[in-house]
Amino acid sequence: MKKLLDIVKTKDMSVLKGTSVNDAVELMYTNNEGCIVVLDKSKAVGILTERDIIAFMNEYTDTDQDIYEVTAKSVIGVNSDRTVEYALHILIDNNIRRLVVLDSKGLFLGIVTQEMIINNLEEEHYRVNLKVSQVISSLDKDIVTLDIDSKLSDSISMMYDNAIGSVLISSDKKIVGIITERDVVRLMSSKTAITTPIKDVMSSPVISVSINDSVKYIADMMNEKRIRRVVVKDVDGNAVGVIGTRDIIKNIKGNYGVFVENKLKYTKEALNAINEVIFELYSEHDKMLIQWGNAVALKRYGVEVIDSDITQLIDKEQWSKITDVLVKENKIDDYKVSIKDQMYLLSCSQCNVANNTKAFFIICKDVTEYEVKLLDANKDLDKRVQEEIQKNKEKERQFMEQSRLAQMGEMISMIAHQWRQPLSVISSTAINLDVKIELDKFDLTNDEEIEKAKLYFQSGLKKIEKYVQSLTTTIDDFRNFYKPNKLSVNSTFEDIVSKSMGIIEASLRGDDIELIFDYKSKEILNIYDGEMMQVILNILKNAQDNFKTSDIKDKYIKISTNEKSLSICDNGGGISEDILPNIFDPYFSTKDEKNGTGLGLYMSKTIVEEHHKGTLHVENKNDGVCFKINLDGEIS
């Protein structure tokens, strides 16, 4: 038996998320395909079919928009290693016309359609002497026709309202043409107006077959002419129905016929009405694959479970015990299992399928609510756990305060360094102004000299005002750092670095450390700015202290941003590989007892990873060390 990998069509069967509906339809028409898959990084996230296009045109949907916005849906995907026979089961049980084929990594590979399935089934899969008349008698829909004087929009509405793939066009009670979903794709691609007369766009003449022809003959002819449906005429030449590839699939035999004869007495429709989780499993290649799920099962766990191993839902150890019981007793009743945090009582029966394979029906009764009593019995335990959590949080708060207090002296030293230049300028400017007054440098009886004096004093006062503002900014940054409240703000890494530099920049430059800034991101982040300043200042101060104990020329610290990450790197020689794994441990320090508490990097990691749900990573790089902060999570 062939596998899907042998027949899958891979070329031009997909578009990327962001493609317009119009462009996708154009590709469908160019390649004469009935669907197109929407990809997001090689993963199938949607599918556009001819039936969707009928709906779009009927509802006047904007077709210039992103295809993902109108086709985002769960897609049934099947591994390329599955057999054509297995794919046939999936098509029929899930009432679909095509399968998305995935590679071994779950990434999009291509498409297999019902036509391709039919063309690759062995002849013995067709009922012996099955006639078109037998297929026609099994159809539950009457023939649908439209007068030749109608418009294209009438045919679209009729297909949409009746959920059918074609409409026959009649004139004087004779079939003269047909409009199919494939025609609508062609017309949409060519921007044909939906008010166009139907006679100008219909396919004609109509390909017809006799009601006495064999289904095998019809299947071969449809494959040869690359069509999906034909009109069936009786012995008098009157149209009595339309046969499509889906109708043929529903009437073929082979292993599917044997499988159907061994199914449970209830139909799939009845199983869909049961308010419990029900799966049908099929054994293939030592795997137990989910072939079908009822409405409750698919709503709860998604269509993605189709073609996945049952152990994706039920723990392997639990499933092994279930199969052991099935081998011995051929069925199992009320076996307690957990599926994705839900508790069930599982009942299962099996039936034999052709080729020495087995199929299983499992019914899972949800008993999660009955587990509530057990949870109530553990409330006291939960309370004690919460109390311990609060104790740990208080301990963490104390660590934080201890760390900040330890930095207080360093911060005051940094601020004193930061203020030295502004205070010096203010002092010298004030002295200069005072000297001018004392020495009577300006002749205040002369208008020109008065104006000159005025401009001179205004310039000096503006200079004083500028440096007073610099002092104020430093104080504000310091106050923000030591704010007792913990409120998040929307800010960027660049802004937080700038505030940190308002405290430490003068100190760093005073030690002849070059500061290099490489900002490549303006990403707005929701962060605790005071805490993040603490992290940045701690890393910068550690780098500065390291430079003081090393004989390095051309010292520099490079600060760079990229998306949601911030990197701080230096050329200070790096950290010994022996102690690198320990630098985030509490009370671990390479400084002497007088200058280090061993809490700085420990609290930095806590702030980044626990408070901001990010990561703080360190590694030796080139001639120094790099600390990298990533903020991908939501703050707590």
CA 502 to chain centre: 40
The pLDDT value recorded for residue 267 is: 64
> Which residues are within 8 A (CB) of 358 and not within 5 positions of it... i.e. 6 or more apart?
283, 350, 351, 352
Both 348 and 394 in one domain: the answer is no
Judge contact between 359 and 379, C-beta under 8 A. no
Distances, alpha carbon 623 to alpha carbons 256, 536, 557, 570, 573, in Å = 68, 21, 12, 8, 5
Both 310 and 429 in one domain: the answer is no
CATH code for the domain in which residue 475 is found? 3.30.565.10
Q: What SS3 state is found at 599?
A: coil
Q: Tell me the average pLDDT of the chain.
A: 81
Both 354 and 294 in one domain: the answer is yes
**In the 3-class helix/strand/coil scheme, how is 115-178 assigned residue by residue?**
HHHHHCCCHHHCCCCCEHHHHHHHCCCCCCEEECCCEHHHHHHHHHHHCCCEEEEEECCEEEEE
Domain membership of residue 597 (yes or no) is yes
Reported as a single tens digit per residue, the pLDDT across 152-178 is: 999 989 988 888 888 999 998 888 999
| Stated pTM of the model | 0.46
Reported as a single tens digit per residue, the pLDDT across 362-384 is: 899 988 877 667 666 677 777 77
Both 465 and 541 in one domain: the answer is yes
Judge contact between 388 and 288, C-beta under 8 A. no
Both 365 and 416 in one domain: the answer is no
User: Could you identify the residue written with the tokens 């002369």?
Assistant: 446
User: Could you identify the residue written with the tokens 């449809």?
Assistant: 222
CATH code for the domain in which residue 338 is found? 3.30.450.20
Q: What SS3 state is found at 618?
A: strand
Reported as a single tens digit per residue, the pLDDT across 69-119 is: 888 677 888 999 988 888 887 887 777 888 999 998 889 999 998 778 877
Which H or E run includes 26?
A: helix 21-30
Instruction: Give, as one character, the DSSP assignment of residue 197.
Output: B
Which H or E run includes 110?
A: strand 108-113
Reported as a single tens digit per residue, the pLDDT across 516-562 is: 999 999 999 999 887 888 889 889 988 988 898 888 889 999 999 99
What's the total number of domains in the chain? 4
User: Could you identify the residue written with the tokens 């099994």?
Assistant: 138
Domain membership of residue 381 (yes or no) is no
Reported as a single tens digit per residue, the pLDDT across 564-615 is: 999 999 999 999 888 888 888 877 776 654 455 566 788 788 888 888 899 9
For every residue of 202-257, DSSP letters joined together read: SB-SPPEEETTSBHHHHHHHHHHHT-SEEEEE-TTS-EEEEEEHHHHHTT--HHHH
- Is pLDDT at 259 greater than 50 in this prediction? no
Reported as a single tens digit per residue, the pLDDT across 11-56 is: 889 999 999 988 988 888 888 888 899 999 889 999 988 888 888 8
Tokens of 387: 């109390």
Specify the length of the chain in residues.
636
Query: How close are the terminal C-alpha atoms of the chain, in Å?
Result: 55
* Domain final residue, candidates 226, 254, 282: 254
Report percent pLDDT > 90 for the chain.
Answer: 17
CATH code for the domain in which residue 40 is found? 3.10.580.10
* Domain final residue, candidates 104, 119, 134: 119
For residue 309, what are the β-bridge partners?
A: 289
Percent helix, strand and coil across the chain, each rounded to 5? 45, 25, 30
Which residue, among 124, 143, 130, has the nearest Cα to 208 in the 3D structure? 143
Per the structure, the complete domain to which residue 302 belongs is given by 262-373
Both 337 and 427 in one domain: the answer is no
Both 245 and 357 in one domain: the answer is no
Which H or E run includes 406?
A: helix 379-438
176-180, 503-507, 629-633: range with lowest mean pLDDT: 503-507
Calculate the CA dihedral of residues 324, 326, 329, 331 and round it to 10 degrees: 150
* Domain final residue, candidates 230, 254, 278: 254
Both 19 and 103 in one domain: the answer is yes
Domain membership of residue 635 (yes or no) is no
Both 444 and 580 in one domain: the answer is yes
